[in-house]
Amino acid sequence: MNSKPLHVIALRYCVDDLPGASIPHARLQKILSCLQCGGQLTQLSLGFLQQQGLHTLHRLAIGELPYDSFHELALTEQAIRIQAATAAKLAREAEARIEEEQRQLAYAARLAREEEQRQLAYAAQLARESDPTYRAKIKNQQLRARYGIYDFVEPQYFGRLMSILKRVDADQRLEEEDSVWLSTVGKDYFTDELRIAYHRLEAEFFASEFHKTHDPWAAINASSHYRKCDQAHDADALLSPINIEHQSPRIQAALCTTHGGAMRDMKRWDEALRLGERAHALQPKDYRPCTLLGAIHMETGQYDQGKAWYDKAIERGATADAVDRDIRTILSRLTPSRRRDLEDFLIQEDPRRFAWVQKRRGSPRHRR
């Protein structure tokens, strides 16, 4: 076996410019090794030489040329081949440069178009923002969003609703007719955010009135509104210092009831029960303390006692609908397992009256 390095063999046959001549096991390298060893090439190998344009090497392989004549012709053929390869490389590089230049020009043109579009959009935005109508529209949208009103507002209600929102946003109390409108005609727009803001303003107004006049009914009203805007702690802070001993039984009962409600909201059950029971003792014919005690017992799992107190509330003037609304609120506050327990109790107690519980239980939202 010939031990000469592959590149030396490639040089001998004037094909060192071709990568396949020096790569082990490449087809051209095997042909060269065969020639170097004096072997005979197959027809496939001879055809490969012609396909590759190695005509002089082909003539050497078939014995048409002696090596000396071959070498002189092969060097010329190699020079032509190298020149052609170099020209082809230069052509590819030139083509690549042209393509890159075209790509850069296209990129620059795209950037220019985008910049022009941005400038036009910016100019249009400035024009819109300088338009009083547009600015008013944006402010109205922001105001509605602040109070959770994202849906379409009926045109006939738009002016009144925006007036209400502007007053609330400016920390101004609503007129009574606006409060009534929100609770009736405009109830679809009385969102949780607006409700909390409304009750906060009312609570602050009545608390201020109480501090000025010491009228206990102002404190009672303030407490009611504080609870409705999730500020039971403020209701407790307002009511705790009040000495109720010198008040009439009716006012004492009202103060105990609303204070008990605040304790219930804060889950201070023992204090809530004590205040509710005291209110009932003071005004045994008033349904409000009974409703409070019913709610406390229901929320703490004393369902029989809760229902008994709710029944007493209905006997004293509370409506079944009002009690059911109270129970709905309680159900929404309970954990899933406690909610199922209370639902089971209500359905067993009165399946006809509490059919809404069964319907509520089957709704997709409730199942989630």
Full 3-state SS string of 151-189:
CCCCHHHHHHHHHHHHHHHCCCCCCHHHHHHHHCCCHHH
| Residue of higher predicted confidence among 131 and 293 | 293
Cα dihedral sign for 92, 98, 100, 106?
negative
Q: Which of 135-144, 160-169, 312-321, 356-365 has the lowest mean pLDDT?
A: 356-365
In order of their start, the domains of the chain are 6-98 (no CATH), 252-368 (1.25.40.10)
Confidence of residue 137 (pLDDT cuts 50, 70, 90): confident
Per-residue model confidence (pLDDT) at position 363: 62
Report whether pLDDT(179) > 80.
yes
User: Whose CA is closest to 238, among 195, 278, 273, 203?
Assistant: 203
Other CB atoms closer than 10 Å to residue 128's CB: what's the count?
13
Q: 362 pLDDT exceeds 90?
A: no
Residue 342, pLDDT > 90, answer yes
pLDDT score of 1: 41
Size (the chain), residues: 368
The closest of 228, 226, 163 to 195, measured between CA atoms, is: 228
Average pLDDT over residues 234-254: 94
What's residue 119's pLDDT?
87
Mean pLDDT of all residues in 228-247: 94
Q: What is the C-alpha separation between 150 and 157, in angstroms, rounded?
A: 15
Instruction: Say if residues 226 and 196 touch (Cβ distance below 8 Å).
Output: no
pLDDT over 50 at 249, yes or no: yes
Mean local confidence (pLDDT), 254-275: 96
Least confident segment among 33-42, 127-136, 347-356, 358-367: 358-367
Distance, first Cα to last Cα, the chain: 83
Q: Residue 220 pLDDT more than 50?
A: yes
> What's the chain's average pLDDT?
92
- The average pLDDT across 340-366 equals 83
Which pLDDT tens digit goes with each residue over 63-93? Answer: 999 999 999 999 999 999 999 999 999 999 9
